[in-house]
Structure 1
Amino acid sequence: MKIKNSLKSLKTRDRNNRIVRRKGRVYVINKQNPRYKARQG
């Protein structure tokens, strides 16, 4: 999992990417291709 300041660039890398808020943190998740995982902070 990558930890980035800005997730907007990671969201555009794959069309299945979703931005999700969990427990006050922002995540990029991808069910079809799980290597696109990232957290903000």
Structure 2
Amino acid sequence: SLKSAKTRHKDCQIVRRRGKVYVINKTNPRFKARQR
């Protein structure tokens, strides 16, 4: 879930785009998640 991804890293950002939710991280770009 996105809450676990957010607590896992401080620099995570939750971005909502077109009904999809992304977790992006600038310091660690491979740390990504996607949810419908």
Q: TM-score range by the shorter chain?
A: 0.7 to 0.9
- Structure 1 segments (4+ residues) deviating >3 Å: none
Identity of aligned residues (%): 69
What is the aligned residue count? 36
Give the structure with the higher percent helix. 2
Tell me the residue number matched to 1:35. 30
Unaligned runs of 5+ in 1: 1-5
- Could you tell me which of 10, 15, 18 is aligned with 2:5? 10
Deviation at 1:24, TM superposition (A): 1.0
Q: With the length of structure 2 as denominator, give the TM-score of the two structures.
A: 0.82
Tell me the residue number matched to 1:3. none
Aligned CA-pair RMSD: 0.9
Unaligned runs of 5+ in 2: none
